[in-house]
Chain A
Amino acid sequence: MDASEVNMISKIKSAVLFGLEGQVIDVETDLANGLPAYNIVGLPDTTVKESKERVRAAIKNSNLDFPMKRITLNLSPAHTRKEGAHFDLPLAIGILTASQQIKEKDAYDFAYLGELSLNGSLVGIRGILPLVITLRNQGIRRIVVPFDNRNEAAIVEDVDIYPCRSLNEVVESLIGNKPWESYSIPSDFFKQDLDVDSSLDFREVVGQEHVKRAMEIAAAGAHNMLIIGPPGAGKTMLARRFPTILPDLSYEEALEITKIYSVSGLLHSGSGLMKIRPFRSPHHTVSSTSLVGGGRVPKPGEVSLSHFGVLFLDEFTEFNRSALEVMRQPMEDEKVTISRVNGTVTYPAKFTLLASMNPCPCGFAGDMGSTQSCTCTPLEVKRYMSKVSGPLLDRIDLHIEVSAVKFEDLSGKTTEGKGTVEMKEMVDLARTVQVNRYKGSQITYNSQLTGSQFKKYCRIDESTEAILEQAFQKMKMSARSYHKVLKVARTIADLDGYEHIEMNHVLEALQYRNLDRNYY
């Protein structure tokens, strides 16, 4: 018989990611007679090209045969760039199948993902979750993954996950020496999170009821917030507790966040679905790329890592102007689009912004309770405050000023204030109201209200309108603040359990426009 009858081309299923979106890849292996050669084609990037050596060593060290043939591996379709170290396993299986050390019909039952170390053990990779989702969506129901990735992979429904520790284990099961066992997450598996310490509670914050109230509002309506205060006032402490009152993640939200963290390589080995909203606090020396995303192979930036969570910009005025500028578009679109030669990658970026700053360059402006007084000239203060202007400030609905806590407050003479549990209860209620109200519309939260929606959802009666006008005059506010005040009033009304915005709600909302007043 001629050579064509001996089918020495194997076709193994795997996948590749481009951002959070994936594509199924066929790993074709051809063994031809001729001088031993070993090539990978199909636009492999450097990591994939290096697979060659890892695969060869892994096969040899697993006591399997590495064929002395002309080996050509093709990653199909050939026109897209392939990146990632997870091709090691499918390439190895491809070679083993083509050299008939494994039977085709056994191998073709599965898709394979995993990096190989030189001794043949399977190493965990990043991006497992979106990869598995991609394969599942294309109808592939059985997937072999590295052992370390099992909990993340098993999140996906309608798919059988087979975690293995080494190439040997995979091969043993494929040739029938060991039965396949699919993996499900144990019911008592503690779904951990990153970045948020669940032992934090607002009860630990002494005094500062005003800010706590503001945070309640911010959490309920997803309003962005700016905290102004001198050093030592507890701005960071308050910010860190903010995520504790945010509503629980829905399954879909958790899935999306886990994908982003997976792709960024931020999930700890063995971890599963992220259950708590992320809290990101980049240092003010952060670059635009780190903030928004980018790199040769586009990776999510801080705005995406805080998707459905909180982005805290401490010392807001110290951030690079250009870095902050770059944030404008994502805040507008709620996603980041990064263009590369091969195409565009989109990462979602729907976050709540918390920013903090001092009231003036030295930090003590107007803080008459402390022993330090402000040493800044009015011009210095003016210049400092003008840094906080423009489009970014325009997206911040709440301004609140905190003052340094006095000693007697610390020593516990005051009564205990609100804690996380009660605050979260109220936030959850308010959020439910919003979900129902905006069902079927484009928006989810009060902070997203625009244009004609105000007429529909934020009606106020004549006397309230009159008071609003008076307040605007007295407090010297501009027209821009008008809608922000209404949005906040809408959330306050929701927290209060009122369908219509009452005067009280508007009056309270006015207390959160501190920067609009002309103090300085």
Chain B
Amino acid sequence: MERKECLLWLNSIGVNHRQMKNLDHYFSVLSDVLNGSINDLQNCGIRSQKIQSQIINKNMESFNSYKVEMKKLGIDFMTHEDEHYPGQLKNIPDPPFILYYMGDRRCLNKDAIGMVGARKATPVGRHIARDLGRDLAKNQYVVVSGMAYGIDTEAHRGAVESKGLTIAVLGCGLDQNYPSHNRNLKKELLSLGGAIVSEFPVGTAPLARHFPQRNRIISGLSKGVIVVEAGLKSGSLITVDYALEQNKDVFSVPGSVLSSVSEGTNHLIKEGAIPITDAKDVLQYYGFEERPEGNDVKTFDHLSEVEQKICKCIMKHQPIHTDEIHLATRIPMSDLLPVLTILEIKNEITKLNNKFILQS
């Protein structure tokens, strides 16, 4: 059996990365594993009877139906020896042997920035992640993240918003409908030329213990990783560990010292991560001047006097509640509310949980 096929087959029956490494060292030619004994397998760390019997019995039928299944779902794969295998990923200490992918594999070789963060992100954090995703993608960076609830989803959404490229790395099989509410997001990113990848075989459930493993791929594919919000014990910090191991840059968005979801990010900055507040900081770090979008500085000259007054007030205190705008500007409530609606329609401001902020 060819090495490429063999790798796929072993992965499909559930041989994990560590076991695969052992097998690769143990047998001079990987396909020799077909002739291996149970003892050999045990020596390589394969203790599961199920996997052992699969290997011993050389059950090719199920492998064939596995490949058929893959084709049906539009899932392709590459091994770490493939010419298309992403260069960045090849250079990490422990590159995955197999990378399943859906979508356009070319984006895997483009310049990418990873973004991770808390699942229980605050609305502010999500907003920032969205902005970052959008602006990075707009400036030709591929946005890499994990498609999880919270920061990850917003990062992908932002990239999709500016019709850019984004890669989702999953901690489960590519066939799994997880997270369920991101089904459309997945479709969208694929249609724009992005990709969804995983080193886990088709049919693998999204178990918690898979996520650290997949995090190394997020940082592995990127030039640098941005942490938007993270608690002190967040899984995102594991991604940071991998990034450091892989010699990648680590960026962190500072947050309120009273916010628990910023404890991790603030800590990272203390430890030496690069503090950033927007995509421009990242772009400049890599020596890339941002393409100016017309007016960078926020001016309100095109607005009416009342509108300007309100916008300036929001800019100063954002995020700000309607009542506070009323107190600060002294505009009567029944006059203030209509103007707020107009400003929203004009996209000058937006409402985030009943508080207003300037639309960037």
Contacts and interface: CB of A to CB of B under 8 A. Distances in A.
B120 A366 contact: no
B344 interface: yes
A44 interface: no
Interface in A340-382: 359, 365-369, 371, 373-379
Contact of A377 (B119, B322, B354): B119
A507 B337 contact: yes
A407 interface: no
B344 to A, nearest CB: 6
Interface string B167-182: 0000000000000000
B337 A373 contact: no
Interface string B133-162: 000000000000000011000000000000
Contact of A517 (B122, B345, B351): B351
Contact of A374 (B122, B327, B333): B122
Given A213-B334, A373-B259, A508-B341, A401 B323 contact: no
Interface in B312-360: 319, 321-323, 326-327, 333-335, 337-342, 344-345, 347, 351-355
Nearest to A514: B354
Contact of A359 (B150, B337, B344, B353): B353
Interface stretch (A18-26, A114-122, A202-210, A443-451): A202-210
Interface in B72-98: none
Given A207-B323, A368-B122, A368-B319, A373 B353 contact: no
B260 A368 contact: no
Contacts of A378: 119-120, 149-150
B123 A377 contact: no
Contact of A368 (B124, B149, B323, B327): B124
A492 B334 CA distance: 9
B273 interface: no
B337 A213 contact: yes
Given A209-B333, A471-B341, A511-B337, A366 B119 contact: no
Contacts of B207: none
A475 interface: yes
A185 interface: no
Contacts of A504: 335, 338
Contacts of A471: 341, 344-345
Contacts of B337: 210, 213, 507-508, 511
B334 A369 contact: no
B327 A377 contact: no
Contacts of A507: 337-339, 341-342
Contacts of B258: 371, 373
A511 B340 CA distance: 8
Contacts of B352: 366, 519
Contacts of A379: 149
A209 B335 CA distance: 12
Contact of B326 (A209, A374, A475): A209
A105 interface: no
B228 interface: no
A329 interface: no
Given A496-B334, A519-B353, A377 B149 contact: yes
Contacts of B345: 467, 470-471, 474
Residue picked from B259, B340, B347, B353, most chain A C-beta under 10 Å? B353
Contacts of B259: 373
B108 interface: no
A504 B354 CA distance: 20
A210 B333 contact: yes
B261 interface: yes
Contacts of B321: 210, 369, 403
A373 B321 CA distance: 16
B334 A508 contact: yes
The majority secondary structure among interface residues of chain B is helix
B159 to A, nearest CB: 19
A366 B123 contact: yes
Residue picked from A409, A470, A507, most chain B C-beta under 10 Å? A507
B175 to A, nearest CB: 22
A510 interface: yes
Interface residues of B, number: 34
Contact of A208 (B150, B319, B323, B342): B323
Contacts of B260: 373, 375
Nearest to A495: B334
A409 B323 CA distance: 11
Given A378-B119, A504-B338, A213 B333 contact: yes
Interface string B240-262: 00000000000000000011110
Contacts of B347: 474
A504 B336 CA distance: 10
B234 to A, nearest CB: 13
B213 to A, nearest CB: 22
A514 B353 CA distance: 9
A187 interface: no
Nearest to A368: B319
A403 B327 CA distance: 14
Interface in A172-217: 207-210, 212-213
Nearest to A359: B353
Contacts of B327: 207, 209, 409, 414-415
Given A209-B326, A514-B354, A377 B344 contact: no
A325 B259 CA distance: 39
Interface in A272-324: none
Interface string A476-520: 000000000000000010011000000111011011001001010
A510 B122 contact: no
Contacts of B353: 359, 365-367, 401, 519
Nearest to A507: B338
Contacts of A508: 334, 337-338, 341
A475 B344 contact: yes
Interface string B111-122: 000000001101
Contacts of A510: 341
Interface in A46-76: none
Contacts of A511: 322, 337, 340-341
B319 A376 contact: no
A517 B354 CA distance: 10
Contacts of A373: 122, 258-261
B53 to A, nearest CB: 39
Contact of B120 (A377, A414, A415, A519): A377
Contacts of B150: 378
Nearest to B126: A378
Contacts of A503: 338
Nearest to B351: A517
A502 to B, nearest CB: 9
Interface in A445-459: none
Contacts of A359: 353
A369 B339 CA distance: 24
A213 B326 CA distance: 12
A415 B326 CA distance: 11
B132 to A, nearest CB: 19
Interface of B: 119-120, 122-124, 149-150, 258-261, 319, 321-323, 326-327, 333-335, 337-342, 344-345, 347, 351-355
Nearest first, the 6 A-B pairs at minimum CB distance are: A366-B353, A507-B338, A401-B354, A507-B341, A508-B337, A213-B333
27 contacts: A210-B322, A212-B333, A367-B353, A368-B123, A368-B124, A368-B319, A369-B321, A373-B261, A374-B120, A375-B120, A378-B150, A403-B323, A403-B355, A409-B327, A471-B345, A474-B344, A474-B345, A492-B334, A496-B334, A504-B338, A507-B338, A507-B342, A508-B334, A510-B341, A511-B340, A519-B352, A519-B353
Interface of A: 207-210, 212-213, 359, 365-369, 371, 373-379, 401, 403, 409, 414-415, 467, 470-471, 474-475, 492, 495-496, 503-505, 507-508, 510-511, 514, 517, 519
